[in-house]
Amino acid sequence: MTPGRERGLTALLCAAGSGLALLAAGRTWATVAAEGAITPLTRNLSGGDLGGAAGALGLAGLAGLAALFATRGRVRAGVGVLIALFGAGIAYASAAAVRRSNVLSAAGDESTLLTFGGDPAVDVSLWWLVSVAGGVVLAVGGLVTAVRGARWPGMSARYERAAPRRPAAGDDDPSAMWKTLDRGEDPTAQKNGRP
């Protein structure tokens, strides 16, 4: 597999992990029902209601994805470490968000009637696991970037492969100018004798 293709697949992996975390953050992670309250009520709590750290780290993972393309060498490896930490943070924050004490605290913040309900029932959905899976996928993408990313080409690598070819002295053909632009060269610098 070529380094450029490996970079692209890793970027897709990071995007998928961040996307899963962001998708899950807006879904209902837990439902709290207080049947014995003064007025029986039920509250649905999303990932954002239960802390929001997983969604914020998902956005940070997307920002890291942009940095993956904009950097090179050791800096890119450092970006990979950060992306892996974002993924681990998503997984931890998602698991911590659905603990009973955290769910009851978040539900109590939304409605004081739940605090008078005795022992409310807590039902946790599987969306938090989707967020954990997104964090794991993002962490794997970050680790691959940290280990292999220094070898990947940068954004402008195709312009640095060969020394620029200068046109012949009397070459005023307009198509020659377009060809030099296609190669990434500056035709005006060549006419003035600058490198």
CATH of the domain at 30: 1.20.140
> What is the rounded distance in angstroms from the CA atom of residue 106 to the CA atom of residue 104?
5
53: DSSP letter: H
Q: If we measure between CA atoms, which residue out of 22, 153, 9 comes closest to residue 87?
A: 22
**Which helix H or strand E contains 59, and what residues bound it?**
helix 53-70
Whether residues 115 and 172 share a domain: the answer is no
Each residue's pLDDT tens digit, 137-164:
999 999 999 999 888 887 654 544 544 5
> What is the rounded distance in angstroms from the CA atom of residue 72 to the CA atom of residue 69?
8
Whether residues 17 and 76 share a domain: the answer is yes
Domain count, the chain: 2
Least confident of 55-59, 103-107, 164-168, 171-175: 164-168
pTM of the complete model = 0.73
Whether residues 64 and 89 share a domain: the answer is yes
For 165, residues 6+ apart whose C-beta sits below 8 A from its C-beta are 180, 183, 185
Look at the alpha carbons of 106, 109, 111, 114 in this order and tell me if their dihedral is positive or negative.
positive
Whether residues 18 and 78 share a domain: the answer is yes
Q: Which domain holds residue 173?
A: 162-191
* Phi and psi at residue 50, to the nearest 5°: -90, 15
Each residue's pLDDT tens digit, 26-62:
999 999 887 776 677 788 999 988 988 999 999 999 9
